[in-house]
Structure 1
């Protein structure tokens, strides 16, 4: 195929049906099969963009060099508005070339049938093939507008009426969430979403021009002072045998360090994959015992499919937490490549999750160690290309961490087993506010699936909230309280988030969308309210299941 060859939607669909990884970028058709195993961000990120216009996502996460390199993978172009397909990893159906040709032939032979098809839903292209309806599952909610009547549903106590199957309860609850979002947020029609996209691109261009994407290195000055003070205090208290104070300072040191590791993971410090990986690995692996490669792999997916219960690993927290009733159906996680079951343990824990939220998060860092080792030992990161070396750098780093922390500090410096256990627990529990910070911006936000016609900017704002605090408290949140800004512009250095926030607020006013921001206390109340609501639904469904068995 020539680089300038015009390709139709049917052409792209047939190639994807044939197993090719095709994405649209700036009206250019890219085939990325040869790049999947080399992609530093992992292959799953690409899989979630197959069949879609990935222009905004691509620009948000890639450097100018990567954008220029994309031309190597161009196989053609499009010259009309693109309607997104549902990617195969998300369950999309794609017709082969033979199916498309046969459908066209069959359609042409029956004008009446052709007429009925052309007057069908605007959200799905429907073709009759040998009497069977084959759907191109894209723009799933285009046909659902704010003016349409969506049936209202309410989940009631099982004592009120004969309980339907749990699947029906879940479907009703999820439909109610979709109905709420369709009324609350801008219409999903093509014109509205194109307007939002264009305004978002104008905002990004302006922020680039004004220097918001340039790293303000002086911002790390005060942070480095905090790092040194906390590390020095931890060592001082260790030598004076104030062990729990030493552990507390060490935990606070780790807590603060991870904000810079986050920057490095997004290539927001130097802009270089190599040097930011070195910095991120040094902080995360060698000093903190966590895998920066695991974090990047998980976090990249989180940014692309934010708050999707089936695809976003950041909200797949069973058996401890559930923020969507979809997880009650034993979902197959496309990130972990395994079934996440709503088993007996999950049923118990989720039903009380609003009470266990903070206690469980106190132990969250131990789970990060597990996930890090799983990622490194099983080689789940890229094994080819510029990121291949990172796994070995990380393994050495985690071993080095356990040598200095586990052996030199905990084993040699602490006198008793009970003191060692207490030191490990305190140093890890003190990092709990970081886990609260991460969950705070998403657990209370929408988990509804509005389909692939929703623009990148709208989805990020719909699934993310900011936390309001005075500027002098920014150090406590590490700048990550500006999650809406961060999700719109993930490569923007976090020291520029506060200044950029006012422009994002203006952008929201222009597109007619709520800018969701809560104070820290109110934000926590919102999260607990969501957890309590899902806990009640879990209790109802468990009760229904028990009654049906009785």
Structure 2
């Protein structure tokens, strides 16, 4: 089907047909099940888990081999890249994508997130579930809340004059701020673990996170001086933040926002608020499959490798029922992020909020 350009450079959206059919999400889900696309892909996931564990072991050994030299810092971005892939696998397990039972998926997700990644599984799962339930909805989606940036005009209310002035070109601050996202994730995770009763099985997360950092620090300090170890961690966490933030931000930022209390059916809610990012296998790798965000939000428990296979079905269904399906390039996605953030920062007035939100308010 021919595509038409949207108002954001690089984005394409399927046009609305003249007549809406009676097809629903239920009909789409039935087609997907009949195509076998919800079946587990254990071979795929075991290969990735095994590979990542081996790579981490090789990196730990390499640190000892290189020894106490500044050249060891060259390994820090490689560790970041490996840990970002661990985080993506933890995300998949949390969505029940890997194993057939919730128990094994929960165990895998906790081990990947807390024991290998050093982040509280319970903290992340809670906020991520809120995001999936109400993506881009003001007051519900915690992913559009920030102490530094304003993702929607309401976020500007109550801010001081200096902060509002700094946000007028906040889109350009987005990229350097990504370097702090890794530190922010670890601080928020630790803060959640210190709040008793904030989530279930906190003690398990605490033991895993503390154990992970103890092993990490021991490996580093056996190889290099404390100063070099601190520099290594700083680089690793910074690059980790860039990789994760760069994988999550383009998926929803700049897409329609929903007003507080707005009601929308599941299919429209998930598709309208999500953006796919094209670019082939390399983009799939660096974004952990989250570049197919529309399909992931419609079928969160679908194994990651099947998202590519279900995409034609979803796209055709959206065209059939008249729901715009958005896909863009990597550069187009980040351009949309910058444009949206700058627009919000410059506006700061309710009438400049997203058209969908204004329509739903009326």
Task: Report if aligned partners of 1:237, 1:245 keep a CA contact under 8 Å in 2.
Answer: no
2:140 to 297, 311, 326: 311
CA distance in 2: counterparts of 1:352 and 1:251, whole angstroms:
29
Match of 1:405 in 2: 216
Task: Report if aligned partners of 2:138, 2:260 keep a CA contact under 8 Å in 1.
Answer: no
CA distance in 2: counterparts of 1:247 and 1:261, whole angstroms:
21
1:352-392, Cα deviation, whole Å (9 max, x unpaired): 3112111111111111112212222213544xxxxx4x322
For structure 1, which runs of at least 5 residues remain unmatched after alignment?
A: 1-183, 187-191, 331-341, 383-387, 542-550
2:274 to 449, 464, 469: 464
- After superposition, residues 118-517 of structure 1 pair within 5 angstroms as 198-224=23-49, 226-228=51-53, 230-239=55-64, 240-241=66-67, 242-319=71-148, 321-330=149-158, 342-343=159-160, 346-382=163-199, 388=200, 390-406=201-217, 408-417=218-227, 419-431=228-240, 432-449=242-259, 452-471=262-281, 473-517=283-327
Task: Report if aligned partners of 2:139, 2:260 keep a CA contact under 8 Å in 1.
Answer: no
Shift of 1:226: 4.4
Shift of 1:277: 1.6
Shift of 1:451: 5.7
1:410-442, Cα deviation, whole Å (9 max, x unpaired): 44432142x122101111122212211111111
Shift of 1:345: 6.2
Secondary structure of residue in 2 paired with 1:517:
strand
Match of 1:65 in 2: none
Match of 1:53 in 2: none
CA distance in 2: counterparts of 1:318 and 1:185, whole angstroms:
37
1:188-237, Cα deviation, whole Å (9 max, x unpaired): xxxx7xx66x5211111121222211111122255246414532442244
Match of 1:524 in 2: 334
Task: Report if aligned partners of 1:508, 1:515 keep a CA contact under 8 Å in 2.
Answer: yes
Match of 2:7 in 1: none
Higher helix share: 2
Moved more, 419-428 or 225-234: 225-234
CA distance in 2: counterparts of 1:537 and 1:421, whole angstroms:
41
1:416–1:472 CA distance, 2 compared to 1 (3 A): closer
Scaled by the length of structure 1, what TM-score is found? 0.56
CA distance in 2: counterparts of 1:502 and 1:288, whole angstroms:
34
Secondary structure of residue in 1 paired with 2:191:
helix
CA distance in 1: counterparts of 2:123 and 2:101, whole angstroms:
19
Task: Report if aligned partners of 2:81, 2:243 keep a CA contact under 8 Å in 1.
Answer: no
Scaled by the length of structure 2, what TM-score is found? 0.84
Alignment length, in residue pairs? 332
Moved more, 483-492 or 218-227: 218-227
CA distance in 2: counterparts of 1:207 and 1:412, whole angstroms:
51
Task: Report if aligned partners of 1:309, 1:327 keep a CA contact under 8 Å in 2.
Answer: no
User: With CA pairs under 8 Å and 6+ residues apart, which has the higher RCO, 1 or 2?
Assistant: 2
CA distance in 2: counterparts of 1:471 and 1:247, whole angstroms:
24
Task: Report if aligned partners of 1:375, 1:381 keep a CA contact under 8 Å in 2.
Answer: yes
Runs of 4+ in 1 over 6 A off after TM superposition: none
Task: Report if aligned partners of 2:45, 2:98 keep a CA contact under 8 Å in 1.
Answer: no
